[in-house]
Chains A and B, each alone.
Chain A
Amino acid sequence: AQSVTQPDIHITVSEGASLELRCNYSYGATPYLFWYVQSPGQGLQLLLKYFSGDTLVQGIKGFEAEFKRSQSSFNLRKPSVHWSDAAEYFCAVVYSNTGKLIFGQGTTLQVKP
């Protein structure tokens, strides 16, 4: 079945430290990949997306993600985390043959001062 896995339910990093959030998707038809962020009490905001081309994509708020087809991964990174980055992060995928958006279970990021 088509699925998205975010192995880390909860991550804590210190402010200023680097961040990597992991995302793996199940092998299937051409994937379109997304990262969304949800701050407490808010909706989902699109951080970045990958459809094709350069496998390193830049997003808003200083985030980037790298698509690795051989590893079926689309990990999100940020070189230096700010306290305002504390939120829940969702990886999501649309497979070209279904058009359905499939979400991972989310990773909650806590930022220590």
Chain B
Amino acid sequence: DAGITQSPRYKITETGRQVTLMCHQTWSHSYMFWYRQDLGHGLRLIYYSAAADITDKGEVPDGYVVSRSKTENFPLTLESATRSQTSVYFCASKEAETQYFGPGTRLLVL
């Protein structure tokens, strides 16, 4: 099916470990985004990408790394996970001004 998929859907890891969250879209949208959703903070933009090999920081980029070697993929890496990065992570892609969201990844850092 066309759309945005995220994997894994659930992840438990330990402090200090590296974790990569995957995002794949089948629409060939140029723009892609990563958000985190936390109680009391709503949705906050971590990173975004305007095209392959073009990425930029959002509101809360510290502790995260992104890459975009192909238009359809936009992985998010936590290089050394911390408990404060326990959250639900959403990937999105954009057509015109409309963003479409993936199902999310629930990450627990112990």
On A, residues with C-beta under 8 Å from B are: 32, 34, 36, 42-46, 49, 51, 90, 94, 99-101, 103-106
Contact = CB atoms under 8 A, between A and B. Distances in A.
A44 B90 contact: yes
| Majority SS at the chain B contact face | strand
A42 B104 contact: yes
Interface string B35-75: 00000001101000000000000000000000000000000
B43 A103 contact: yes
Contacts of B42: 90, 103-106
A32 B101 CA distance: 17
Interface of B: 33, 42-43, 45, 90, 97-104
A43 B102 contact: yes
B98 A46 contact: yes
B102 A94 contact: no
B69 to A, nearest CB: 24
A-B pairs, top 9 by smallest CB distance, nearest first, are: A44-B101, A43-B103, A43-B101, A32-B97, A94-B97, A103-B43, A43-B104, A105-B42, A103-B42
Contacts of A99: 97
Contacts of B101: 36, 43-45
Contacts of A100: 45
Contacts of B33: 101
29 contacts: A34-B98, A36-B101, A42-B103, A42-B104, A43-B90, A43-B101, A43-B102, A43-B103, A43-B104, A44-B90, A44-B101, A45-B101, A46-B98, A46-B100, A49-B98, A51-B97, A90-B42, A90-B43, A94-B97, A99-B97, A100-B45, A101-B33, A101-B45, A101-B99, A103-B42, A103-B43, A104-B42, A105-B42, A106-B42
Among B97, B98, B102, B103, residue most surrounded by chain A Cβ atoms (within 10 Å): B97
Given A32-B97, A99-B97, A106-B42, 14 more contacts: A36-B101, A42-B103, A42-B104, A43-B101, A43-B102, A43-B103, A44-B90, A45-B101, A46-B98, A51-B97, A90-B43, A101-B99, A104-B42, A105-B42
